[in-house]
Structure formats: C-alpha cells, structure tokens
C-alpha cells in the first residue's frame, strides 16, 4: 500500500512539533499490527512494515516452520514450507503479504488514534521537562481566568501554558482581573491527570527572594547574599543579608537610596507588605538580636547546641519585640532557626537573668514611648 501523503504528514509533524517521525513509525507498526490481528483473527501472526523512503506500508502474516504442526494458524510444516521455497528450514518462518485494502479503514482509524495519543504524550513530557527547569524561578504571566473559589489561572511561557495560582498561594486581599500582568513564582511542576500542572505562588518566602534578586543589582552580581528569609504573606517579611565585599553595605543596597528599592518591592508587588532587612551575623547571638528588629535588644543568652535563646529587651520594647500576635518574634525564630524566648528587663531581673540596676540609657522619653506604641499599632 503506497501512502505518500501519510508519510509527508509525519514529516510535517516532525518540523512543527520537533518530534522524530521514527518515534511515530515504531508506535504505528505495533498498533497497526494489533489492529490487523483483530481484523484477521487474534491467532494470526502479523507484522507491519512502514518504509518512509518508499512511502509504503506493507502487511505480512507469517507462520513458523516446525516438524509437527500443532497450531495451523501460526505454524507450517517443513514440507509445505519447502513447497513454497526449497531453502526454508526448521525454525524459519514463511511470510505472506496481505493486501491491506480490506482493513484500510481500521488501519486509518488506528493510525489516527496512535498519532493523537503519542502527540499528547510527547507534548506532555516536553512541557514537564520545560517547566521543571523553571521550578523555583520567577516568571511574568497574564491572568487568563478566575474561579469563584478564588483560584486564578495564569498564562505563562511562549506556548501559552496555563499555571494555577491557588487562594493560599496569593497575598491576602489581592484581586486579579482578566489581562492583568503579574509576577509569579513557579512553586511546583507535576503530572496532573493526562496533562501537566504548573503550581504558582505569590505568598511563599522565595517569591520575595526572587523580587530582591530582580531589584537589587548587588544581589544579582553576588556581592550581596540572601542568607535566610521568613515571611507571613501580606503582613511582614524578614530577610537576612550579608555582603561579600566589605565596602558594600548589604542592608543599604537592599533598601536603596531613600528606600527606593525596598519600596518598589513592597508597594509595587506586595501591596505594602512590611519588609525588615536584617544584617546577617556569623555570631548567632548577634544574629538573633538583629532578627528582632525593629526592637532594641539588651542581652541575649542561649544554648548553641539546642539553638535556644532568651532575649532581654527594655520594658517599653517588649510589645515591639514580640509583635502583634507574636508575629515579630515568630518570624525572627524562623529567620534564625533558633527558639527565641523574649523577656522584659524587669521580668529578667525577677528571674535572675540580669542584675537590677538603674540604667539611664534605657529610660525613654514620652516622645520615644509614643513612637514605639505607634510602631506597634502600625505592625
């Protein structure tokens, strides 16, 4: 059977989809053989040969040459075989070409099904490979549609792949409409049903990390390193940074002149989410003290092995150190990896953690106290 158009169509698929026609030919030979067996009878041995150079499809039924025939549909005696061709021997096989006209319709349907199935399988694997490489990266996508439950579908990539942004992966209170261009973090790529699902996020800590890498040239150049990050999306992020160049202020580089860089991230991308940029310190106690910013810390005691620290703060800084509903202390603990217990100066004296003394330096003016209260309310 000659089918030039069929093979030319395979060549077009190879050019458009980048899928080798040999992949289809192998699958088609197996599938067409099964279709022919169903048409001729399951007991028949069938072999299909596709020749893309000659544009031919040939179908053969064959029988194995044996001394004693037990299955006439699959076997032939040596005597009968040699009647066809004298050179046949035991263990060989006799092939007879079958005209495919009688089952051409079955073959055509089978070929279509195999090609469609293989296309879906290959495209699925290609998509999985393509976006698996983009896991943990930030992309710019376009909002395609939203569901009543708050799930947002975002078009990403050149092939119009659709990623899913679940409600818990969104920043609290943000709303999207069709056509909005947004930045998203590729959280996970996985097989989902018969296709591939790209799970996106804007609420994870690494999303903020990627925003800083995009906004701060010193981070991209490796001069400033993000050592750790902790986040409660929509409320506050703490990010610890370190400079590999002694002439560069890591915190200043991230904040930018007059706060231009950090404001671009907080206001433009995170809906005003507060961001504390913390100087990382190899001394764990100093790092724990820094992590409780903006509160002032008087003393840190701890156990290096257990990674537990007791932090003493001025009485009027206790609320600021702990934060609303414990958020500041909680984020500091996640940032440092230490368990942090915050104590007021007065309570620390009662517990014998520090000696009582009148330290004028810790006495605050009414103005300073009001400023601290205002900061806590803002948080």
Q: Catalogue all structural domains in the chain, each as residue range(s) with its CATH number.
A: 4-131 (3.30.1480.10), 135-201 (2.40.50.140), 205-280 (3.30.300.20), 292-379 (3.30.300.20)
pLDDT in tens, 132-141: 788 899 999 9
Give the separation between CA 309 and CA 65, rounded to whole angstroms.
Answer: 84
In angstroms, rounded to a whole number, what is the distance separating the alpha carbons of residues 254 and 211? 11
- What is residue 217's predicted lDDT score, i.e. its pLDDT? 96
Count of CA atoms in the C-beta half-sphere (13 A) of 226? 25
In the chain the first and final C-alpha atoms are separated, in Å, by 78
The SS3 of residue 241 is: strand
**Residues in Cβ contact with 353 at an 8 Å cutoff, skipping those fewer than 6 apart:** 299, 301, 310, 312, 343
DSSP three-state, residue 314: coil
The helix-helix angle for 104-132 and 4-17 (nearest 10°) equals 10
Any idea which of 71-85, 110-124, 243-257, 319-333 has the lowest mean pLDDT? 110-124
- CA-based nearest residue to 36, from 57, 8, 67, 11: 57
Query: What is d(CA 59, CA 172) in angstroms, rounded to the nearest whole number?
Result: 64
Compare 76 and 327 and report the one with higher pLDDT: 327
* Per-residue confidence (pLDDT) for residue 360, from 0 to 100: 44
- Mean pLDDT computed over 198-221: 96
Of 23-27, 170-174, 309-313, the range with the lowest mean pLDDT is 23-27
User: What is the pLDDT, as a whole number, of residue 267?
Assistant: 93
User: In whole angstroms, what is the distance from residue 155 CA to residue 142 CA?
Assistant: 5
Q: Is 201 strand, coil or helix?
A: strand
pLDDT at residue 7 greater than cutoff 60:
yes
* 3-state class (DSSP) for residue 217: helix
The tens digit of pLDDT for each residue in 108-117 reads 677 677 777 7
Structure tokens at 221: 């150049």
Question: Which of residues 352 and 220 earns the better pLDDT score?
Answer: 220
* Band (27; pLDDT cuts 50, 70, 90): confident
50 pLDDT above the threshold of 50? yes
């Amino acid at each position: 059977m000659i089918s030039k158009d069929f093979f030319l169509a395979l060549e077009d698929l190879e050019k458009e989809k980048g899928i080798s026609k040999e992949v289809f030919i192998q699958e088609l030979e197996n599938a067409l053989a099964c279709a022919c067996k169903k048409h001729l009878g399951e007991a028949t041995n069938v072999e299909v040969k596709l020749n893309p150079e000659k544009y031919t499809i040939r179908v053969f039924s064959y029988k194995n040459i044996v001394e004693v025939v037990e299955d006439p549909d699959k076997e032939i005696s040596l005597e009968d075989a040699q009647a066809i061709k004298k050179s046949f021997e035991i263990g060989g096989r006799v092939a007879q070409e079958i005209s495919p006209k009688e089952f051409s319709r079955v073959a055509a349907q089978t070929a279509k099904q195999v090609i469609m199935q293989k296309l879906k399988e290959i495209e699925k694997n290609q998509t999985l490979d393509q976006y698996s490489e983009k896991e943990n990266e930030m992309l710019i996508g376009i909002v395609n549609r939203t569901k009543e439950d708050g799930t947002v579908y975002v078009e990403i990539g050149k092939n119009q792949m659709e990623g899913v942004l679940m409600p818990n992966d969104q920043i609290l209170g943000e709303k999207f409409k069709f056509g909005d261009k947004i930045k998203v973090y590729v959280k996970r790529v996985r097989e989902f049903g018969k296709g591939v699902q790209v799970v996106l996020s804007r609420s994870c800590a690494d999303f903020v990390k990627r925003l800083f890498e995009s906004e701060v040239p010193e981070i991209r150049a490796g001069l400033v390193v993000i050592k750790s990050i902790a986040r409660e999306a929509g409320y506050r992020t703490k990010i610890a940074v370190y400079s590999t160049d002694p002439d560069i202020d890591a915190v200043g580089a991230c904040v930018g002149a007059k706060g231009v860089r950090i404001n671009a991230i907080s206001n433009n991308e995170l809906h005003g989410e507060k961001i504390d940029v913390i100087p990382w310190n190899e001394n764990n106690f100093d790092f724990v003290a820094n992590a409780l910013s903006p509160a002032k810390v008087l003393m840190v005691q701890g156990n290096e092995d257990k990674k537990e620290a007791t932090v003493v703060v001025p009485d009027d800084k206790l609320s600021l150190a702990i934060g609303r509903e414990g958020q500041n202390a909680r984020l500091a603990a996640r940032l440092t990896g230490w368990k942090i217990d915050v104590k007021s100066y007065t309570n620390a004296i009662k517990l014998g953690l520090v000696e009582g003394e009148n330290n004028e330096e810790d006495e605050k003016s009414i103005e300073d106290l009001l400023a601290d209260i205002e900061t806590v309310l803002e948080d």
